[in-house]
Structure 1
Amino acid sequence: MKLSNWFVRDGAERPLIWPCVTLVLLCGLNLWVNPHFLSLRMLDGHLFGAPIDVLNRAAPLVLVATGMTLVIATRGIDISVGAVVAIAGAAAATILAAQPEPSSALIAQALIAALIVGVLSGMWNGVLVSFVGMQPIIATLILMVAGRGIAQLLTAGQIIPIGAPGYLFVGGGYLLGVPSSVWIATVAVLATAALVEGTALGLFIRAIGVNPVATRLVGLRSKALVFAVYGFSGLTAAMAGILISSNVRSADGNNAGLLLELDAILAVTLGGTSLLGGRFSLAGTVLGALIIQTLTYTTYSIGVPPEATLVVKAAVVLAVSVIQSPSARALGMSLVTHRRVAR
């Protein structure tokens, strides 16, 4: 079988193939520009290099996109995750600012508070979507606007510096030579995958996405499950907020997590999750997040002006999305069939 035929057929049966190809091509482009792109070096017990930098920068996006994947799988959307990132970071920084040298107990309190406000934010969205009956984009738009204001109120419109070593280790430290943020994102994704793929939860989420009315009629508590999914999205956004504020050593209510919701949606769709619900892939979501971060790294490394970065990103995302679309696959199969008949 010719390679082109294999890609067309296998692309329909294995939706992860195109994200993998895209990521490999981006890495190949970086290797062409910089032959040492994949090189790693150990310094002071820490691994350094472009792959580590990409993984470290992609960790918050992976977390947010993981929660977004389950939301989209239920035919929903959550455009408030960027604001939740800002709220979580602001809440933690506000608590840590209460003492010049925060104790371990205060650091733990700040971490827990950030996670709680994230879950509460997600639950607020869940109530509006599941029980009030609002459209997901409208319900989360409310928190997207109000949440950014809440974050700025918590920080009084200022950038709050964070100097607690224990807190800074969460997003800026290293464990076994690898950034701690990478470990946190990896554990979160694996735990989520074990939960949705190792239990009936994944089947229930897919069923809601396929036909929410039918799932309710057969006795599945679809409203409670959708509510829980939005709460989980808030939790993953709060975790990302902790990583970001820890990594930059400050909380910025105005800019933290800005437009992160768009990157998360792109990562989910690049990974093969259907915006119509019913089909999702956590592995694909991780690949999508890595594609976006690698693409960002690539644009800077090849000298693309910063103001054109978003245009390049949009073009690549458009190309990959079109290739993955059922219409493009059908067209590819028809072309292959037509060539065979012509012969």
Structure 2
Amino acid sequence: MTKLAESARSLSKHPITRPLLALAFLYVLMLIIMPSFFKLEMHDGHLYGNLIDILKNGAPLIIIALGMTLVIAVEGIDISVGSVLAISGAAAIYLLDGYPLWIALIAAAAVGIVCGMWNGMLVAILQIQPMVATLILLTIGRGIAQLITSGQILSTSEQSYMYLGKGYLIGLPFPIFLAAGIFLLLYLFKTKTAFGLFLESAGGSKTASLYAGVKPRTILMIAYTITGLCAAIGGIIVSANLGSADSNNAGLWIELDAILAVVIGGTSMRGGRFYLGGTVVGALFIQSLTTTIYALGIPPQSILLVKAVVVIVVCLMQSDVFRKKLAFTRKKVLAE
């Protein structure tokens, strides 16, 4: 019984426990308010329902947030992922008019890699503060996307490309499998290679890791490059789902959702240890919150307000000072 209590205590302290509880609370609340929210239907061998929509629509966010996790793990941040998403999607749709699918996909991925390397160079080599460095691409990124599309919304009828965003595999939307594949690759990259250890080391203390033989600048470059590639994959999914490239609105504010997903998932903005599984749960929580607001008929304009409240609560719960004061107040109240 003692071992069981110790296991429960250690589980309650795990960073992924809080986002899981938050997600469970949201679903219980929806079960009470709107039981039909969980209804699933099968049509033509395809599964439909709000839960499926959450997984499908949340796939780009999950992928981008996973890349963001690596950057935040080394005390960095990338606020340009929404613009990179727009550029990659625009490049893919533009090239589909006259070029094979594989060239469009490789070009879109290459755009993400180049953008990630650019951000990595500014942060790691030129030592520019991450927020300022990535602000550059955030500002000019959508302008680049508009140059590619000539300021128009480009569309495509390439079915094999649109399958990546709206196709189905064994009854489930294909983007779900893409997100699961990216998670698996990054998880193996973290656990089966030295990169994960180096990333945590560089995030914990760049000076100490440098003396230990780790090269923080190289780790930063790799982290930003992977984040750029993840943003490009997200851009492919979004443009494939819509069958078009909208340079103005594609991926708008997704960088904020990605950062929030990482923080909700238990990864500290101060760097160090990071939790890919927690990030996935955090992204699902955000997408579930958005879907819930739409399902309840709440005006979409309030989504940002709700997310702002969530950010405040998460920041307070991550503050050691706030938690200590909260625990002290609770003990004081119980003592009285």
Q: TM-score, normalised by structure 1?
A: 0.92
Deviation at 1:18, TM superposition (A): 1.4
Q: Do 1:18 and 1:320's aligned partners in 2 also have CA atoms closer than 8 Å? A: no
Q: Helix, strand or coil: the match of 2:250?
A: coil
Q: What are the equivalent positions in structure 2 for 1:114-129 lying under 5 Å apart? A: 114-129=108-123
Equivalent residue in structure 2 for 1:293, among 287, 302, 327: 287
Q: Does 1:36 align with 2:36?
A: yes
Q: Helix, strand or coil: the match of 1:37?
A: helix
Deviations 1:78-101 (A, max 9, x none): 011000000100100110123xxx
Taking the aligned partners of 2:49 and 2:220, their CA distance within structure 1 comes to 40
Q: Do 1:65 and 1:267's aligned partners in 2 also have CA atoms closer than 8 Å? A: yes
Taking the aligned partners of 1:276 and 1:313, their CA distance within structure 2 comes to 21
Equivalent residue in structure 1 for 2:239, among 245, 248, 262: 245
Q: Do 1:61 and 1:263's aligned partners in 2 also have CA atoms closer than 8 Å? A: yes
Deviations 1:145-186 (A, max 9, x none): 111111010000000012100000001100011110000001
State the match for 1:48 in structure 2. 48
Give the counterpart letter for 2:277 in structure 1: A
Give the stretch that moved more between structures: 315-324 or 133-142. Answer: 315-324
Deviation at 1:332, TM superposition (A): 4.1
Taking the aligned partners of 1:309 and 1:140, their CA distance within structure 2 comes to 25
Q: 1:10 to 1:303 in 2, by over 3 A?
A: farther
Taking the aligned partners of 2:292 and 2:318, their CA distance within structure 1 comes to 22
Q: Does 1:185 align with 2:209?
A: no
Deviations 1:266-320 (A, max 9, x none): 1111111110101211111111101111111111222221222211221133224
State the match for 1:302 in structure 2. 296
Q: 1:10 to 1:321 in 2, by over 3 A?
A: farther
Q: 1:324 to 1:214 in 2, by over 3 A?
A: closer
Deviations 1:209-240 (A, max 9, x none): 11112212222122111101100000000000
Give the counterpart letter for 1:29 in structure 2: L
Taking the aligned partners of 1:324 and 1:52, their CA distance within structure 2 comes to 31
Equivalent residue in structure 1 for 2:223, among 229, 247, 253: 229
Give the counterpart letter for 1:309 in structure 2: I
Taking the aligned partners of 2:10 and 2:211, their CA distance within structure 1 comes to 36
Q: Do 1:90 and 1:155's aligned partners in 2 also have CA atoms closer than 8 Å? A: yes
State the match for 1:91 in structure 2. 91
State the match for 2:154 in structure 1. 160
Give the counterpart letter for 2:54 in structure 1: V
Q: What are the equivalent positions in structure 2 for 1:135-174 lying under 5 Å apart? A: 135-174=129-168
| RMSD between superposed Cα atoms in Å | 2.1
Q: Helix, strand or coil: the match of 2:38?
A: coil
Taking the aligned partners of 2:157 and 2:121, their CA distance within structure 1 comes to 36
Taking the aligned partners of 1:124 and 1:316, their CA distance within structure 2 comes to 32
Q: Helix, strand or coil: the match of 2:35?
A: coil
Taking the aligned partners of 1:37 and 1:321, their CA distance within structure 2 comes to 29
Aligned residues: 332
Q: Do 2:263 and 2:314's aligned partners in 1 also have CA atoms closer than 8 Å? A: no
Taking the aligned partners of 1:336 and 1:193, their CA distance within structure 2 comes to 38
Q: 1:323 to 1:131 in 2, by over 3 A?
A: closer
Q: Percent identity?
A: 47
Q: Helix, strand or coil: the match of 2:298?
A: coil
Taking the aligned partners of 2:211 and 2:146, their CA distance within structure 1 comes to 44
Q: 1:70 to 1:329 in 2, by over 3 A?
A: same
State the match for 1:203 in structure 2. 197
Q: Do 1:60 and 1:185's aligned partners in 2 also have CA atoms closer than 8 Å? A: yes
Q: Do 2:86 and 2:235's aligned partners in 1 also have CA atoms closer than 8 Å? A: yes
Taking the aligned partners of 2:18 and 2:323, their CA distance within structure 1 comes to 12
Taking the aligned partners of 2:103 and 2:143, their CA distance within structure 1 comes to 23
Taking the aligned partners of 2:317 and 2:219, their CA distance within structure 1 comes to 33
Point out where structure 2 has 5 or more consecutive residues left out of the alignment.
none
Q: Helix, strand or coil: the match of 1:150?
A: helix
State the match for 1:66 in structure 2. 66
State the match for 1:102 in structure 2. none
Q: TM-score, normalised by structure 2?
A: 0.93
State the match for 2:79 in structure 1. 79
